[in-house]
Structure 1
Amino acid sequence: MNTTEKQSHQPGKQHLMDSKPTTIRGNYKGSEKLKGKVALITGGDSGIGKSAAVHFAREGADVAIVYLDEDTDAKDTELAINGEGRDCILIKGDVRNIKFCKEAVQKTIEKFGKLNIVVNNAAIQFSEENLEDISMEHLHTTFETNIYSFFYITQAAIEYLDKGDVIINTTSVTAYRGSEHLIDYSSTKGAIVSFTRSLSALLAKKDIRVNAVAPGPIWTPLIPATFDEAHLKGFGKDVPMGRPGQPSEVGPAYVYLASEDSSYMTGQVLHINGGEIIGG
């Protein structure tokens, strides 16, 4: 990684990164696993969300991308989806706003006429050395972005989901092992695990599956937007595989959870973390 990549704006912009994350492997071959499906992905403009979006497109899905203000990244993602021969709609706004979340779902329905895959992925984090340094502003922003929005989007989408449709939530390895510098962020990610398990039980009778992905250290724009240069230099090197992962190594997990390949899985979490042994 280029250790001079520190960014000052959350949740980070991919087009400004010197060491660009890889979105999809060149040898990844789609096999129409999601043909005819429509997906909505929050935080889909870059990083893991973008990887999920482009993988979905290669598998035959049309995609609605919800993003905050990263216009260049969002446009790049739209072009990548179009390059896969699929349609894309960009929906700009703040997922902390319940009205916007309802509008995002409605715009997806208006554009595509249906919704089959909901990916709650948008997230933000602020690193602090001490508990007392966590400001109320950052605390509320973190919870409102990372878990409230999951409720808002899912509540708005649920009436359009039917048998065989899916919800995929992005949690984190920090939900299981914690993080002394990201206490509020880790707390929201733990809440996402409980949200996933509880919602899966509620929706199982409707044959709507709810699962999650818990990434470890993945090289996304959120990282240089969070940490100082010293942390960036060693980012991801403490896992057994000795390196950070790429979004391209996480995206296929979302395909698996979105497709019939995982038809007998609900309420579960996939751990893509470079070898950390995590309970749960």
Structure 2
Amino acid sequence: MPQTTKAPRPPLIQRLRNNDMWWSFTHSKAAMAAAFILALLILTAIFAPIITVQNPYDGAQLDMWKAELPPIWQEGGEWPYLLGTDTQGRDMLSAILYGTRISIIIGVASVALSLLIGMSTGLLAGYFGGFVDNLLMRIGDITLSIPTILVAILVATVVRQMLPAELREIGAAAVLVLAISLSAWVQYARTVRAQVIVERRKEYVQAAHLIKVPALRIMAWHILPNTLTPVLVAATLNFGMAILTEATLSFLGIGMPPGQPSLGSLIRIGNQFLFSGAWWIVVFPVAQLCLLVVAVNLLGDWLRDALNPKLR
């Protein structure tokens, strides 16, 4: 009998182009524009030390004689301060790019930690049910009964007071990540729990029970992958919310310190000079924050629609 040969596997780029997700992305102008803006913001934040004129964290590079310079297109503006300077002589573009990097890092770390807490809780509650389910979900209900920002403020304040005074400024980012994560894990837990309750009744899980597969392996290798689609959408949308929560906490004075400015810290500092004529100190950080959050939310909306089988 003649031997049949397998057809060669298409190249990776071709497989990506034939993918439904890629087709949906390339046919959505909003998603493409949001992805371009988000990629630009992330890249400029990553390479901020290379493309900026100064390090806003280094006091030796600040010049008080250059304080409150307007943007370069206004009278009194000077090169290379394209967006002007603040009251400390700090280049606004440099401060915004460094602040964006801090905000993005805190946002990513917060989503990752809340994902870990929420998915673990949802897996345990959905798989074991009974007392474990009731206990974990009631803790989630208590968390949801308090507004998210109040939970974050409470956690940030308590943890900050527990740290030694010399570590409060150094550990400000870690405190923010913990505060945001502990206020955002419930949505992931509920989503995963609902999926696990459905999946644990299916034949492949019953078969795994029959051959004595450990419960932890069943949850991690068999059930968890089937719950990732709605969790991925929620994580994308919550990334923007985490950045906004960090900005809110920093604006209220319990977030990043002035020596390590995030976008929220820059807005809080610039808000004091909004009506004194130095409008650029607050307007440009606000515009950067809005661009970042809107781009993330647009991508999240596209991802939710692209992964929804009813809309295909």
TM-score range, shorter chain: under 0.3
TM-score with structure 1 setting the length: 0.22
Which of the pair has more CA radius of gyration?
2
What TM-score does the superposition give when structure 2 sets the normalisation length?
A: 0.21
